Copies of this chain bind each other. A is one copy, B any other.
Amino acid sequence: MKRLINLRGGRGLRIALALLPFIVLATAYIAIANQKTEFNPNQRLFPTAEQMSQTMTRMATQADMRSGEIALWADTRASLQRLGIGVAISATAALIFGLVSGGIPLFRAPFSPLITVVSLIPPMAILPILFIVFGTGEMAKIALIVIGITPFLIRDLQGEALRLPEEQRIKAQTLGANSWQVLIRVLLPQLTPRLISTTRLALGSAWLFLIAAEAIAAQSGLGYRIFLVRRYLSMDVILPYVAWITLLAFIIDRALYLISRKWFGWYHVDEQASA
């Protein structure tokens, strides 16, 4: 018998083990929900699978009385749009500032301490200020995402630029590159895939800020819905919405990963097969 740390099991066993916790959790939940519902048919905390699928079918097919829109899709569209715009603005700004700050020491000297301090401010704390500045329209939500993730992205890209071997900058200069050319031909193309992988990391926070902003002031959006229906303890809406958000987050993350692999194969060379 091998030592425990050396036991790996075959492919089949590993797949079975991977599915196991999900099956156990799902089964346990359904059992609890059914039992609670049997005991008290009006309980709302543990909706059964049927209740949830009914509610979701309604939310995914019937138009809302007030707005005439189908809630699930309207919410999804609103949230994804805010997320997309916010993340796009952040990524663009981060690429530019990360590049310039990582590449030009005299820019980095004043900029790097500033961005370090800014990145320490918890964005949630300035949410009241954001509402004052941007109102309760789309701007405030997008601004929260941008303020929330851009400093992190910039610092990461600046760090990545500094980690690129000094040899590359020297080599480029021996090939005749001026400062601008070093930035756009050596640093920029190598920061781009890093931007994608860092954005994947930051998306978790972006979702957080989006939901936080939607929770406090919004007319639509996935976070809006969750915080609106919480007052009826409508777990039959909240739970599927949380699952739906998780699925969306997963899909976006995988899509970015696959795009990055396809376009920037050289960047992923060192990755383990499991990433």
Contacts and interface: CB of A to CB of B under 8 A. Distances in A.
Contacts of A239: 129
A64 B87 CA distance: 42
Contacts of A272: 162
A152 B110 CA distance: 32
25 contacts: A3-B182, A4-B104, A5-B183, A7-B105, A9-B105, A13-B109, A14-B109, A18-B109, A18-B112, A20-B110, A21-B111, A21-B113, A120-B250, A122-B211, A122-B246, A124-B223, A125-B207, A125-B222, A125-B226, A128-B226, A128-B227, A129-B238, A129-B242, A205-B205, A212-B212
Interface SS majority for chain A: helix
Contacts of A42: none
A230 B125 CA distance: 11
Interface in A29-75: 45
A114 interface: yes
A262 interface: no
Interface in A111-135: 111-114, 117, 119-129, 132
Contacts of A21: 110-111, 113-114
Which of A22, A105, A111, A227 is most buried by chain B, counting CB atoms within 10 A of its CB? A105
B122 A208 contact: yes
B106 A18 contact: no
Contacts of A78: none
Interface of A: 3-9, 13-14, 17-18, 20-22, 45, 103-106, 109-114, 117, 119-129, 132, 152, 162, 169, 173, 178-179, 182-183, 204-205, 207-208, 211-212, 215, 222-223, 226-227, 230, 233, 235, 238-239, 241-242, 245-246, 249-250, 253, 272
Given A22-B114, A205-B205, A17 B238 contact: no
Contacts of A233: 132
Given A113-B18, A128-B227, A162-B272, A121 B5 contact: no
Nearest to A272: B162
B7 A106 contact: yes
Contact of A5 (B7, B104, B110): B104
Which of A106, A122, A272 is most buried by chain B, counting CB atoms within 10 A of its CB? A122
A179 B4 contact: yes
Nearest to A8: B105
